[in-house]
Homo-oligomer: A and B are copies of this chain.
Amino acid sequence: MNTMYQRRRADLVTWMARNSISVVVLEDTEGRREKAVRYFSGHPGDALLIITITGHAVLCPWDENLAERMADVDVVIPYSEYGRHPVTAAAGIIEKIGVPANSRIEIPAHTPYPLFLQYAGTLMDHVVLCRETGGVFAEISRMRSIKDEYEITATGAACALSDTITGLLEKHIGSGKIKTEIDAALFIERTIREAGGDGIGFETLAAGSSRSYAIHPVPAYTHAKIGTDGLSIIDFGVMIDGYTSDTTLTIATGKLDPAQEKLITLVEKAYAAALALYKPGVPTREAALAADGVFKKAKKSMPHALGHGIGLEPHEGPGIRNREDNEWIFEKGMVVTLEPGLYDPVYGGCRLENDILITEDGHRVLTKSRIIRL
């Protein structure tokens, strides 16, 4: 019986055969993270993964002990055998496997230009490809954007815990048990880890009303009070088995200024307008433009994308943005965010974000985040 990782690699190999690619090199390293290494091998990262058209998978991990426990591949070779250099390792493995000359070898789309030159110079007997679009990495992004059963289950567990935490945040901020941004952020982290989760999926953003004007406040949380009069924002991810949720709660406290009420109304309206378009076959750009339209009528604009896929990464395909080069189309099995927001340097910010599974005939909202009034 094939494992999940073997099945994914088999799907990739089918694509490689159709596109005459003999070898794919995947690299996860500091500064160039590539969760596809985990997606195809089970190994969490800091490694080179080589997949050949014959279905052979070789992992070159930085941490051999960890690979022994987590990697589901054919062969593990310590990275130190190749001086921990990706080009040396890739060339060494390609030679060891006996890949025929003039093979088409695709290296990571994120390969910096200077490193590309090294690959091309070292693999001179082959054709080295490095493509953002039309190549294997675009295909991997597409594959990863459609979640399989395991992934939907893991994300569902993350979303369920996220909802529990949202409810507890509301309760504890209301009662005064959670007083500061730090209290909120560490409550989230502890709750996830104690439940056996991996931890937060990205750094929690907890901004009291004095700091919510920033999309991503710096620092992400401080000893400032949270839930004081005005608009507070808490944006967090719960990661379970490598898969993260991503939701944002806005807490509106006290008597609001009409300008703040307006922000809330507009965000909720944009949310509803866009959500109606979260269904198979609709270009994701249309949903982004629907939200933009609501804001534009009120002479406002949103400084970030409307949403994105979530999974092994907090941001992955599909993109849900208004850029003209956005060609993503909603498909069944995608798990994405919907997160309209408006930010005012004086009145603060308001963002509403939930996670949504695209289904055969529309969508299922996986989380219950909201704009709360306290």
The residues of A with any CB-CB pair to B shorter than 8 Å are 30-33, 44, 46, 62-66, 68, 70, 78, 80, 83-85, 109-116, 130-133, 182, 186, 189-190, 193-194, 196, 198-199, 203, 213-223, 301, 303-304, 315, 323-324, 343, 345
- Can you list 18 A-B pairs, Cβ within 8 angstroms, ordered by A? A62-B215, A65-B213, A65-B345, A66-B215, A68-B345, A78-B303, A80-B303, A85-B323, A112-B113, A112-B130, A114-B133, A116-B116, A182-B193, A186-B189, A186-B190, A193-B219, A194-B223, A198-B219
Indicate how many identical chains form the complex. Answer: 2
- A132 and B112: CB pair below 8 A? yes
- A199 and B221: CB pair below 8 A? yes
Question: In the complex, what's the smallest C-beta–C-beta distance from A274 to chain B, in angstroms?
Answer: 18
| Alpha-carbon gap, A114 to B115, bound state (A) | 12
Question: In the complex, what's the smallest C-beta–C-beta distance from A265 to chain B, in angstroms?
Answer: 21
| Alpha-carbon gap, A339 to B193, bound state (A) | 28
Given pairs A62-B303, A112-B113, 20 additional interface contacts (CB within 8 A): A31-B33, A62-B304, A63-B216, A63-B303, A65-B343, A66-B216, A66-B218, A83-B324, A85-B323, A109-B114, A110-B112, A111-B112, A112-B132, A113-B116, A114-B132, A186-B186, A189-B189, A193-B221, A196-B222, A199-B219
Q: Which residues of B contact A113 (CB under 8 A)?
A: 111-113, 116, 130
| Alpha-carbon gap, A304 to B46, bound state (A) | 12
Q: Which residues of B contact A303 (CB under 8 A)?
A: 62-64, 78, 80
| Alpha-carbon gap, A199 to B194, bound state (A) | 21
Q: Which residues of B contact A343 (CB under 8 A)?
A: 65
Q: Which residues of B contact A196 (CB under 8 A)?
A: 222-223
Question: In the complex, what's the smallest C-beta–C-beta distance from A235 to chain B, in angstroms?
Answer: 14
- A214 and B345: CB pair below 8 A? no
With A186-B190, A189-B189 given, is the CB distance from A110 to B218 under 8 Å? Answer: no
| Alpha-carbon gap, A257 to B153, bound state (A) | 42
With A113-B130, A220-B199 given, is the CB distance from A182 to B186 under 8 Å? Answer: no
Q: Which residues of B contact A62 (CB under 8 A)?
A: 215, 303-304
Q: Which residues of B contact A193 (CB under 8 A)?
A: 182, 219, 221-223
With A189-B189, A190-B182 given, is the CB distance from A65 to B214 under 8 Å? Answer: yes
Question: In the complex, what's the smallest C-beta–C-beta distance from A68 to chain B, in angstroms?
Answer: 7
